Amino acid sequence: MSITNEPEPISNSPLSVIIEEDSWILALAATKLLVKKKGNKFYIPKYKDLKGILTEPGLKYITMYEGHTCYGERLKESFVPGENFELIEIREITYLTGNPEWFMIAGTANHILHWYSMNQFCGRCGHKTYEKDDERAKVCPDCGNIIYPRISPATITLVKKDDKILLAHNKNFKSGLYSLIAGFVEPGETLEHCVEREIQEEVGIKVKNITYFTSQPWPFPESLMLAFTAEYDSGDITVDQTEITDAAWFNADSLPDIPSTDSVAGKLIRWYRDNH
């Protein structure tokens, strides 16, 4: 498909609609998003902005935003943005556009484009898969296997002890950044078991009174974060040194660097700080 002056359907799927001039385009090169630059301001481009820039588009429906369709497009990692465009890291979107909603929409595009790229062939028989007509799924014409977007649940927990909270430094964090203990749910586990196990494994303590707080999609590439609070029960902090290199109890008024409010960890830590 090529971009022309005339709108055209992107496929025969009912999930696809006619591309309008004002459709938003989330074009991703690895973890970077293509944005339009005007002076020192950044904007999410519309379809009409990208004519002649996207040469081999494979636009995928993502969601609706402000009355217009959002499409995702995977760019080659070697893609070079032209004049007035720039590739920015997804984690910088809120800061650079001033709109946290674009962070989640671009993240959702990342999730869906990742799913498409990982499911071009059937995992059961190896046949090429096709888009299902009536829902977001891929189907194998040979064995009938239907593949839906995968969502991997993970828990993240704020642990309280008296008037302090547990924060940990992960080896992949930038220097000085501390956050909550998180980890993927394993087969056969409840969410509460996952909370208990991750905290025990990573910092060696037992927790009790595990309480659900909120959830947040974390599409990097396909997680759903389920946030909890818990109370310290027993044990001394012993970091595993494989994932966590340091952990400690912090007072709400003397916190180290913490994640931004784009993440549920950042929101949960600030909620605690502002309420204690």
Question: Which residues of this chain interact with Zn ion, rule CB under 5 A?
Answer: 122, 124-125, 127, 140, 142-143, 145
Tell the smallest beta-carbon distance from residue 116 to Zn ion (Å). Answer: 17
Q: Answer whether 216's CB lies under 8 Å from 188's CB.
A: no
Tell the smallest beta-carbon distance from residue 133 to Zn ion (Å). Answer: 17
Q: In Å, what is the CA distance from 167 to each residue of 9, 183, 199, 206? A: 49, 14, 11, 15
Q: Which is nearer to Zn ion, 26 or 140 (CB)?
A: 140
Q: Which is nearer to Zn ion, 124 or 150 (CB)?
A: 124
Q: Which is nearer to Zn ion, 41 or 124 (CB)?
A: 124
Q: Which is nearer to Zn ion, 140 or 185 (CB)?
A: 140
Measured in degrees and rounded to the nearest 5, phi and psi for residue 148 equal -95, 160
Q: How far apart, in whole angstroms, are the C-alpha atoms of residue 110 and residue 158? A: 27
Tell the smallest beta-carbon distance from residue 60 to Zn ion (Å). Answer: 21
* Residue at token pair 């027993």: 234
Q: How far apart, in whole angstroms, are the C-alpha atoms of residue 210 and residue 157? A: 9
Q: How far apart, in whole angstroms, are the C-alpha atoms of residue 158 and residue 228? A: 6
Q: Which is nearer to Zn ion, 124 or 161 (CB)?
A: 124
Which of 93, 246, 253 lies closest to 177, judged by CA? 246
Tell the smallest beta-carbon distance from residue 144 to Zn ion (Å). Answer: 7
Q: Is the dihedral of CA 121, 126, 128, 131 positive or negative?
A: negative
Q: Which is nearer to Zn ion, 102 or 116 (CB)?
A: 116
Is the bond into 221 cis (omega within 30 degrees of 0)? yes
Q: Which is nearer to Zn ion, 130 or 249 (CB)?
A: 130
- What letter does residue 50 receive in the DSSP assignment? G
Tell the smallest beta-carbon distance from residue 141 to Zn ion (Å). Answer: 8
Q: How far apart, in whole angstroms, are the C-alpha atoms of residue 13 and residue 151? A: 22
Q: Answer whether 22's CB lies under 8 Å from 7's CB.
A: no
Tell the smallest beta-carbon distance from residue 123 to Zn ion (Å). Answer: 8
Tell the smallest beta-carbon distance from residue 146 to Zn ion (Å). Answer: 10
